[in-house]
Amino acid sequence: MANLKEIRNRITSIGSTMQITSAMKMVSAAKLKKAQDAITAMRPYSSKLTELLQSLSAAMDSDAGGVYSKQREVKKVLLVIITSNRGLCGGFNSSIIKETIKNIEDNYHGIEVDLLTIGKKGNDILSKSYNILENRNDIFDNLTFEKVTEIAQKAMDLYVDESYDKIEIIYNRFKNAATQIVQVEQFLPIQPIEGGAEANLDYIFEPTKEKIVLELIPKSLKTQLFKAIRDSFAAEHGARMTAMHKATDNAKELRDDLLLTYNKARQAAITNEILEIVGGAEALNN
């Protein structure tokens, strides 16, 4: 009976775990819908704005894009790493950490690299091996464009004063609830796209092309970072919903196996008791 009691305790424990994972799945599903709608609505605007500025930069002189387009010899790099504050979301955070380490080892060997981390999980791991310029765990408490603007402006200022020669963003791009794609995007300097001059023949600029570009570049950079964080936020909830769905299914399968084991052990115990009673009755009769 001690064995049966142990199995019953395990079944009860797994049932409690199932309730937790199922509840977390529903919470993430509710948050995902809102986050997905936000990033889906933002992507066309962000993509078109970036495309316009890149093609304009290609069509103008090398200095027309201002201080944000200057190409310098890369001696010091800043990586903006976007992870989450909480775990239980599968390989969401580990994929970003692995990509960050791979990117540094493959592309920046011998170059000084600092990190600006957004999210607690990435900071906890990467701070053990790399220099963290700043960690912003608070950004997800109230994700707004104004809060992201502070981070973007700081990164832009660090590039302008030549503290860093290149800045990149590493984050998870949301595709669907089950799929997140690791992205490495160059933040600064701005990269003109090939064929930009031909692409802008149909545009009419007022007051001037140069003035428009210089005013839109800071806004475009801030929008780019905000989109990356929004993407990561939606991808996090998708990854957590998927992970909790799998955890719930695994717990249910384990519970069913334990129930089968419990019933077999219980039937064996009952059979043994019947055999003992019958054996005792026959002994009395004899």
CA distance 103 to 95: 12
CA distance 1 to 7: 10
Q: At 162, which amino acid appears?
A: E
SS3 168: strand
Identify any residues that bridge with 182 across adjacent strands, giving them in sequence order: 172
Residue 56 confidence (pLDDT) = 67
Q: Is the backbone of residue 87 left (phi > 0), alpha (psi -120 to 50) or beta?
A: beta
Q: Which residues of 185-212 are buried (b: 16+ CB within 10 A; e: fewer)?
A: bebbbbebeeebeebbeeeeeeeebbeb
Q: At 112, which amino acid appears?
A: E
CA distance 185 to 229: 12
CB 184 within 8 A of CB 99: yes
The domain ranges of the chain are 25-243
Residue 192 confidence (pLDDT) = 66
Catalytic residue among 11, 18, 89, 229: 89
E strands, the chain, where? 76-82, 112-118, 131-135, 166-176, 179-188
| DSSP structural state of residue 163 | S
CA distance 174 to 34: 13
CA distance 228 to 116: 14
- Residue 198 annotated to the active site: no
Contacts of 207 (CB under 8 A, 6+ apart): none
| Domain 25-243 CATH class label | alpha beta
Residue 158 confidence (pLDDT) = 94
Q: What are phi and psi of 284, to 5 degrees?
A: -65, -40
Q: Is the backbone of residue 119 left (phi > 0), alpha (psi -120 to 50) or beta?
A: left
Q: What is the pLDDT along the chain (286 residues), one digit of tens a residue?
A: 458 888 889 999 999 999 999 999 999 999 999 898 989 889 898 888 877 777 666 555 545 456 788 888 999 999 999 999 998 998 999 999 999 999 999 999 889 999 999 999 999 999 999 999 999 998 988 889 999 999 999 999 999 999 999 999 999 999 988 899 999 999 988 876 655 444 445 667 777 777 777 778 888 899 999 999 999 999 999 999 999 999 999 999 999 999 998 898 888 888 888 888 887 777 777 6
Contacts of 52 (CB under 8 A, 6+ apart): 216
